[in-house]
Amino acid sequence: MASAATPALIGVDFTSNPSRRKPMTVARGRLRGRTVALQRLEDFAALASFEPLLGEPGPWLGAFDFPFGLPRLFVDTLRLGDSTASVADELHRRCPQRMDWRALVDAFGATRPPGARLLHRAADLALPGLTSTSPLQTRYVPVGFMYYEGLPRLVRAGVTLPRMHAGDPARVAVEGYPGLLAHELIGRRSYKNADTPDRLAAREAIVDRLQCGDTRLGLRLSLTAAARASLLADAGGDRLDAVLCLMQAAWCAREPGWGLPKSFDPVEGWIATV
């Protein structure tokens, strides 16, 4: 078992509607000095099969690729609550089904000027060189559904979200964003969702730099040849995204206060490594 100072690490490429065709992917690893050793990759084809992971005894630290909060203006306008847990509870009370959540967002957006209907959080706009998708987006890249399905599960499982929700101090979750680290490594090149030579080359460039420790995180990825081949062969990029989240979790594990800024809105949350 890991000591409290060296928790097991988890990187989660989350999807709100996992299936055998597109499962949720989890990367597990350990931090030794400045080296992150990838131990294994796991797939979950249903949310129900994923939930036991959240209850696994700690100490562990996970970076989960979904928003941990909603824009403050949206929360206050709709009077959803004043804490992470109260917002999640009230949202599910008002919106027992996903499409109810979409309808609530659409109704709010209808009161807003064109171009300002999908609000962003402060963290979404603080990313160097890019803007993350609004957690109110329930179409195209359905980040809003990822919040709807993901955040309440963390709260119900009693996981600690630093400075957002007090739970089991041995089980800690931070909001990951693999696109942020990927952007640092290869810019705006696309690396997933197509089995083409250029995207394979982009995945290879990301893995090469991770293995060399050539990132601002100051960490080096260690993995077997078989695991490397698995990351490169996954044209969807889900396995690589899980590993990118794993690296973000490892960085947080080394930083005081998990690397979070001194001040952020606990209703909105913050993105790890920003």
Q: Who's near 246: CB < 8 A, 6+ residues apart?
A: 9, 10, 11, 27, 28, 29, 36, 38, 63
- Mean pLDDT of the chain, nearest integer: 95
Q: Which tens digit of pLDDT belongs to each residue from 88-147?
A: 999 999 999 999 999 999 999 999 998 889 999 999 999 878 899 999 999 999 999 999
pLDDT of residue 3: 41
3-state secondary structure of 62: strand
Residue 4 has pLDDT above 80, yes or no: no
Give 2's pLDDT tier (boundaries 50, 70, 90).
very low
CA–CA distance, 103 with 111 (Å, rounded to integer): 13
Q: How far is CA 28 from the centre of its chain?
A: 14
- The whole model's pTM is what? 0.95
Q: Which tens digit of pLDDT belongs to each residue from 69-87?
A: 999 999 999 999 999 999 9
Q: Which residues of 210-243 are buried (b: 16+ CB within 10 A; e: fewer)?
A: beeeebebebbbbbeeebbebbbebebbbbbbbb
CA–CA distance, 123 with 71 (Å, rounded to integer): 10
Backbone phi, then psi, for 42, in 5-degree steps? -130, 145
